[in-house]
């Protein structure tokens, strides 16, 4: 196998989407039936981007600000995110997870990591160390 940058890029481009599909399926199965996929994606986004504006969330979801505004209000009513109390220009409000919303995301992420780890148990320890090292290098580079 070639160790050229192009060969590495080909493997990353091939493997990462597959891994993400497995991760997404796990997270979706654990999010709870009362939470839509766009709602859960919003919670995940706000965990990674606390204080994001409504327009930024809408852009991330590929949706419109009015649609996301309704969803934000619904998530706020359920105690999962802090949302504006007034209807004055919600696009400028910084959105954040509540402790309850953060706990939900942390629980789903933790369960997903545990399930993914089960899959990785079949890989010999030395290879897992190599994968970890490679992903740390990739993280630093990107």
Q: Kindly report which listed range (33-37, 90-94, 130-134) carries the lowest average pLDDT score.
A: 90-94
pLDDT of residue 3: 74
Share of the chain above pLDDT 70, in %: 92
Residue 109's H or E segment, with its range, is: helix 99-120
CATH number at residue 9: 1.10.10.10
Are the C-beta atoms of residues 43 and 81 closer than 8 Å to each other? yes
Angle at 93 between CA 89 and CA 97, to 5 degrees: 140
Instruction: Name the domain count of the chain.
Output: 1
Render pLDDT for 37-69 as a digit per residue (tens, 0 to 9): 899 999 999 999 999 999 999 999 999 999 999
pLDDT of residue 93: 76
Render pLDDT for 81-117 as a digit per residue (tens, 0 to 9): 986 554 555 446 789 999 999 999 999 999 999 999 9
pTM of the model: 0.78
Share of the chain above pLDDT 90, in %: 71
Angle at 103 between CA 118 and CA 108, to 5 degrees: 30
Instruction: State the Cα–Cα distance between residues 67 and 57, nearest whole angstrom.
Output: 11
Its domain, for residue 24, covers: 5-141
pLDDT of residue 61: 95
Mean pLDDT of 17-31: 89
Beta strands (DSSP E) in 8-110 are: 81-82, 96-97
Are the C-beta atoms of residues 75 and 36 closer than 8 Å to each other? no
């Amino acid at each position: 196998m070639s160790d050229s940058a192009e060969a590495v890029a080909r493997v990353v481009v091939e493997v990462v989407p597959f891994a993400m599909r497995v991760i997404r399926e796990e997270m979706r199965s654990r999010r709870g039936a009362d939470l839509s996929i766009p709602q859960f994606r919003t919670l995940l986004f706000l965990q990674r981007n606390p204080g994001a504006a409504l327009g930024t969330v809408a852009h991330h979801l590929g949706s419109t600000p009015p649609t996301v505004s309704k969803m934000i209000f619904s998530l706020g009513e359920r105690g999962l995110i802090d949302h504006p109390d007034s209807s004055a220009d919600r696009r400028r409000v910084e959105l954040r997870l509540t402790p309850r919303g953060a706990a939900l995301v942390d629980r789903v992420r933790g369960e997903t990591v545990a399930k993914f780890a089960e899959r990785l148990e079949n890989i010999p320890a030395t290879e897992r160390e190599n994968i970890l090292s490679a992903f740390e290098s990739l993280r630093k580079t990107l």
